[in-house]
């Protein structure tokens, strides 16, 4: 996946995933070049066409033709935003990488400020969209709820997890592998590998061309993904601990039904308390607790098989 | 999410063989499993057709356990260095035979051919031409079908079910006659019974897949009656394919959804019982309580399973990429 490193390697790589953004490609390139016109260090722009069905790719090719700083990657099929971002990251040559949306809603004029902030000693700087220009009920409310949940669950104090405009150090991206739809959880995943994270306000614009690729249906999916996130950030080195914590609930339920049974026995005597409902319910709950414990062991087995590669020796963030 | 396979109609590909002046080599892989016709005759017909096209080619026969070459074929192998044979010591099945064939062949273009006459030998031409035109996997679509109406109906039903899942307009996905460049064959995840879904697998990987109508061979058309076990296995294959296509990266999406439905029903029943108890009715003799606890327990267990799946996926993530690059500028 690595591209041969040229001698005059760019310092900054700007990565933008594009999916059916035909009308936005050319203005986006122009805007980024204009915003970085005064930027002192060499930079590159990587446009990732995520299997678009319109003529996004030919616009990318046209944009790249006149300027060696513009590079395009075309994915064989629509692989989703996370995979498209990963494709961009894998091809980026810079030490500093900035991701932004391909729909002109992020403002490239914020790139320099993010990079400056990163250079102050952070591994990840997240944009925080000010005066967000999206539909209230469909976009803003679900996003507000999701952000609160992510904050509570992971303890990473980022206000706007969904903003694509972010700056990363190469070191950080080498440490996290994003898959499925994890681009929303980059701050939490980065924190779990020890990254120093900052957040700063960025501008946000209303969509000019094309359609939004999101809907409210994803909220339920985000909830399921949050459970996964908790598991892999908090318990990924000791899944058994996570599963043991989870056994507490069925154990408590089993205990409650056991007490019900005892009360029935002592109050009404054995002949009236012959119904097997309470002991049955207690046994089911106890069985579930036992099952979760066993699952935790299976997870440990899976982990031990991969341990060497998964938890490679934790290296220091900075060594001098 | 899936790339649509392009369906190429026969009129786009005149049957007349266009001579190819490249020095590429074609490897024909014949997995000998289940049904076998006269392999020497099969070789002679298809070799003659490839010869006529002026192609460089080799044939690889992979015999599954329990199958052995006929003396006539063995003699052909002896005298020609264009035919190779590999014999499995036990039954490993068609997918394993294909994998071995892919690994041992040397050609740039791979043709898979069943061990019996499925299409006429001249049917190979439009398939090879379609690859030359840019398709990355071409599968034959036996058309017109000469099978009995019963078999045609079965095939229809199978593709209907599959079409709803794979989102690809395939008509004869399990046809054993396929052509693909080596790089495509080597990148496909071939295991289990996945050979049946090879075109759908390739489309899912983002390759340009096309289907080319080719006349069915009369030998192929006979009434095939299967036991119920075969139908059950096909349905299982489809279910596996569906699961792998949608949830390999996010198992908890599947287990979590099913589990939370179960948990929710259990919880609703539990709340109903609790309200009833507070209203003064005893619940110690209500089997509904057991159902409620059972459903809740099942829901929790399914979610636990999904989480284990997520851990496994997470561990594999550093070695795996969910995208394939088609082009760069």
What span, in angstroms and rounded, lies between the C-alpha atoms of A238 and B233? 38
Rounded-to-integer distance, Cα A103 and Cα A204, Å: 11
Mean pLDDT, chain B, rounded, equals 85
Quote the longest CA-to-CA distance of chain A.
Answer: 91
Query: Measured between alpha carbons, how far is A147 from B204 in angstroms, rounded to an integer?
Result: 33
| Chain A (207-226) residues lying within 8 Å, Cβ to Cβ, of chain B | 221, 224-225
Give all strands (DSSP E) within chain B, no chain letters: 6-8, 25-32, 56-63, 83-87, 109-112, 137-142, 178-181, 209-214, 325-328
A140 versus B314: the higher-pLDDT residue is B314
Residue predicted with more confidence, B21 or A128:
A128
Pick the residue with more confidence: B265 or A226? B265
Cis preceding linkage at B17, omega within 30: no
**The total number of residues written for chain B in this structure:** 329
Secondary structure in 3-state letters for A76-128: CCCCCHHHHHHHHHHHCCCCEEEECCCCCCECHHHHHHHHHHHHCCCCEEEEE
Please give the radius of gyration of chain A, using alpha carbons only, rounded to the nearest integer. 25
- For residue B317, the chain A residues in CB contact (below 8 A) are 177-179
Residues B298, B249, B201: CA angle, nearest 5 degrees: 115
Distance from CA of A125 to the nearest CA of B (A): 23
Is residue A197 within 8 Å of A191, Cβ to Cβ? yes
Q: Which of B54, B216, B17, B53 is nearest to B130 (CA)?
A: B17
The pLDDT tens digits of the residues spanning A146-199 come to 888 888 888 888 988 889 999 999 999 998 889 888 898 999 999 988 899 999
Q: Would the pLDDT of B12 be above 70?
A: no
pLDDT at B19: 42
Pick from B206, B290, B317: which is nearest to A75 by CB? B206
Give B223's pLDDT tier (boundaries 50, 70, 90): low
Q: Does A19 touch chain B (CB under 8 A)?
A: no
Whether A228 and B321 lie within 8 Å, measured CB to CB: no
Element of type H or E holding A44: strand A43-49
- What is the per-residue pLDDT for A213? 58
Tokens of B60: 């690889």
CB-based contact B99:B185 (threshold 8 Å): no
* Three-class SS state of B291: helix
Chain A hits for B301, CB-CB cut-off 8 Å, are: 288, 291-292, 295
* pLDDT class of B264 with cuts at 50, 70, 90: very high
Q: How far is A130 from chain B (nearest CA, A)?
A: 32
Measured CA to CA, the distance from residue B145 to residue B217 in angstroms comes to: 9
Q: Is residue B271 predicted with pLDDT exceeding 50?
A: yes
Query: Taking CB atoms and an 8 Å limit, are B252 and A224 in contact across chains?
Result: yes
d(CA A21, CA A85) in angstroms, rounded, equals 15
pLDDT at B27: 95
Q: Which of B300, B319, B322 sits opposite A250 (nearest CB)?
A: B300
Q: Is the pLDDT of residue B214 over 50?
A: yes
- List Cβ neighbours of B311 (8 Å cut-off, separation of 6 or more): A231, A232, A236, A239, A299, A302, A303
Distance to chain B for A16, nearest Cα, Å: 15
Chain centroid offset of residue A234 CA: 15
Residue showing tokens 């759908």: B200
Look at residue A320 in the predicted model and tell me its pLDDT.
Answer: 47
A 277-296 residues inside an 8 A Cβ radius of B: 277-278, 280-281, 284-285, 287-288, 291-292, 295
Predicted pLDDT of residue B280: 83
Find out whether B326 and A76 touch, Cβ atoms under 8 Å. yes
Q: DSSP states of B33-96 as a string?
A: -S----HHHHHHHHHHHHHHHT-EEEEEEEEPTT----HHHHHHHHH-TTEEEEE-SS---HHH
Task: Tell me which residue in B206, B250, B312 faces A51 most closely, judged by beta carbons.
Answer: B206
- The reply to whether residue B290 touches residue A281, judged by beta carbons under 8 angstroms, is yes
Q: Decide: helix, strand or coil at residue A199.
A: strand
The neighbouring-strand residues paired with B141 are B213
pLDDT tens by residue, B103-161: 999 999 999 999 999 998 999 999 999 998 889 999 999 888 787 888 888 888 888 88
Encoding tokens for residue B88? 């499995």
Which has the closest alpha carbon to B310: B254, B252, B246, B257?
A: B252
B316 with A306: Cβ contact below 8 A: yes
Task: Give, for A75, the enclosing helix (H) or strand (E).
Answer: strand A70-75
B78-96 burial, b at 16+ Cβ within 10 Å, e below that, comes to: eeeeebbbbebeeebbbbb
CA atoms of B178 and B198, how far apart (whole Å):
9
A75 vs B284: CB contact, 8 Å cut-off?
no
Residue of B nearest to A286 (CA): B297
Which position has the token pair 């892999």? A232
pLDDT on residue A64: 92
Tokens of B311: 């851990």
Residues of A in contact with B273 (CB under 8 A): none
CA distance B118 to B138: 15
pLDDT band at B236 (very low <50, low <70, confident <90, very high): confident
What pLDDT shows up at residue A126?
A: 95
Identity of the residue in A178, A221, A277 whose CB atom sits nearest the CB atom of B253:
A221
Tell me the pairing of strands A12-18 and A43-49.
parallel
Rounded (10°) CA dihedral A112, A114, A117, A122? -130
Q: Which of A147, A45, A56 is nearest to A98 (CA)?
A: A45
Within 8 A of B308 by CB-CB distance, chain A residues are: 239, 295, 298-299, 302
Which one, of B89, B95, B83, lies nearest residue B67 by Cα? B89
Shortest alpha-carbon distance between residue B6 and chain A (Å): 14
d(CA A60, CA A44): 14
Which tokens hold the place of B166? 């794979």
Pairing of strands A96-99, A166-169: antiparallel
- Chain A CB contacts of B326 under 8 Å are 74-76
Q: Which of B31-35, B165-169, B246-250 has the lowest average pLDDT? A: B165-169
CA-atom Rg of chain B in angstroms: 25
State the residue for tokens 């080799």. B58
Average pLDDT over residues B248-276: 91
10 Å CB burial of residue B287 (0-12, 13-18, 19+) is exposed
| Best residue of B204, B255, B257, B284 to probe chain A, by most A CBs closer than 10 Å | B284
Q: Which residue has the higher pLDDT, B298 or B225?
A: B298
Among B206, B207, B284, whose Cβ lies nearest the Cβ of A278? Answer: B284
Residues of chain A short of pLDDT 70, as ranges, are 1-7, 211-220, 272-275, 306-320
CB contact under 8 A, B327 and A74: yes
Chain B residues within 8 A of A227 when measuring between CB atoms: 252, 256, 303, 307
CA distances from A295 to A226, A288, B2, B307, B316 (A): 20, 10, 33, 9, 19
Nearest CA in chain A to B296: A285
Beta strands at B137-142 and B209-214: parallel, antiparallel or unpaired: parallel
């Amino acid at each position: 996946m690595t591209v041969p490193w040229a001698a005059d390697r760019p310092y900054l790589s700007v990565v933008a995933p594009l999916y059916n953004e035909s009308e936005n490609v050319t203005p986006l390139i122009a805007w980024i070049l204009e915003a970085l016109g005064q930027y002192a260090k060499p930079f590159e722009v990587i446009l990732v066409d995520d299997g678009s069905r319109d003529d996004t790719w030919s616009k990318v090719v046209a944009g790249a033709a006149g300027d060696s700083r513009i590079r395009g990657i075309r994915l064989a099929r629509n692989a989703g935003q996370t995979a498209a971002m990963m494709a961009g990251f894998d091809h980026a040559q810079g030490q500093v990488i900035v991701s932004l949306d391909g729909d002109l809603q992020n403002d490239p004029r914020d790139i320099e400020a993010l990079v400056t902030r990163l250079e102050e000693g952070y591994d990840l700087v997240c944009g925080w969209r000010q005066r967000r220009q999206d539909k209230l009920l469909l976009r803003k409310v679900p996003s507000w709820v999701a952000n609160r949940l992510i904050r509570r669950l992971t303890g990473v104090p980022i206000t706007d997890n969904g903003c694509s405009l972010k700056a990363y150090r190469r070191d950080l991206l080498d440490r996290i592998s994003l898959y499925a739809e994890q681009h929303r959880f980059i701050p939490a995943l980065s924190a779990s590998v020890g990254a120093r994270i900052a957040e700063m306000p960025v501008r946000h614009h209303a969509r000019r061309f094309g359609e939004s690729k999101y809907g409210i249906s994803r909220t339920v999916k985000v909830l399921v993904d949050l459970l996964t996130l908790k598991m892999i950030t908090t318990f990924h080195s000791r899944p058994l601990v996570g599963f043991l914590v989870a056994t507490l609930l069925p154990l408590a339920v089993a205990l409650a039904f056991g007490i019900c049974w005892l009360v029935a026995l002592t109050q009404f005597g054995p002949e009236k308390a012959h119904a097997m409902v309470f002991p049955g319910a207690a046994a089911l709950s106890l069985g579930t607790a036992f099952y979760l414990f066993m699952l935790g062991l299976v997870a440990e087995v899976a982990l031990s098989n991969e341990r060497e590669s998964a938890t490679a020796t934790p290296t220091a963030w900075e060594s001098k | 999410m899936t790339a649509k396979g392009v369906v190429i109609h026969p009129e786009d590909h005149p049957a007349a063989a266009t001579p190819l002046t490249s020095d590429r080599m074609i490897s024909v892989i014949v997995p000998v499993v289940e049904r076998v016709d006269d392999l020497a005759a099969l070789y002679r017909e298809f070799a003659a057709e490839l010869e006529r096209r002026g192609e460089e080619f080799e044939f690889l026969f992979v015999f599954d356990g329990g199958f052995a070459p006929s003396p006539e074929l063995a003699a052909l192998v002896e005298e020609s260095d264009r035919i190779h044979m590999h014999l499995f010591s036990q039954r490993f099945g068609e997918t394993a035979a294909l994998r071995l064939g892919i690994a041992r062949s040397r050609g740039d273009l791979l043709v898979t051919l069943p061990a019996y006459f499925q299409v006429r030998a001249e049917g190979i031409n439009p398939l090879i031409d379609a690859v030359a035109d840019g398709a990355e996997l071409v599968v034959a679509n036996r058309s017109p079908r000469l099978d009995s109406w019963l078999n045609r109906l079965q095939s229809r039903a199978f593709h209907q079910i599959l079409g709803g899942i794979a989102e690809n307009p395939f008509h004869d996905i399990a046809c054993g006659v396929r052509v693909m460049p080596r790089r495509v064959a080597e990148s496909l995840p071939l295991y289990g019974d996945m050979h049946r879904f090879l075109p759908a697998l390739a489309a899912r990987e983002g390759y340009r897949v096309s289907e080319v109508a080719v006349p069915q061979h009369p030998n192929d058309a006979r009434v095939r009656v299967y036991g119920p076990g075969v139908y059950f296995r096909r349905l299982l294959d489809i279910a596996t394919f569906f699961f792998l296509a949608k949830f390999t990266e996010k198992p908890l999406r599947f287990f979590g959804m099913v589990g939370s439905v179960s948990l929710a029903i259990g919880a609703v029943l539990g709340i109903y019982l609790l309200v009833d108890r507070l209203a003064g009715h005893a619940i110690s003799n209500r089997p509904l309580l057991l159902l409620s606890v059972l459903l809740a327990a099942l829901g929790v267990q399914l979610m636990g399973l999904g989480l284990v799946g997520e851990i496994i996926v997470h561990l594999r993530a550093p070695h795996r990429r969910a995208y394939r690059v088609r082009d760069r500028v």
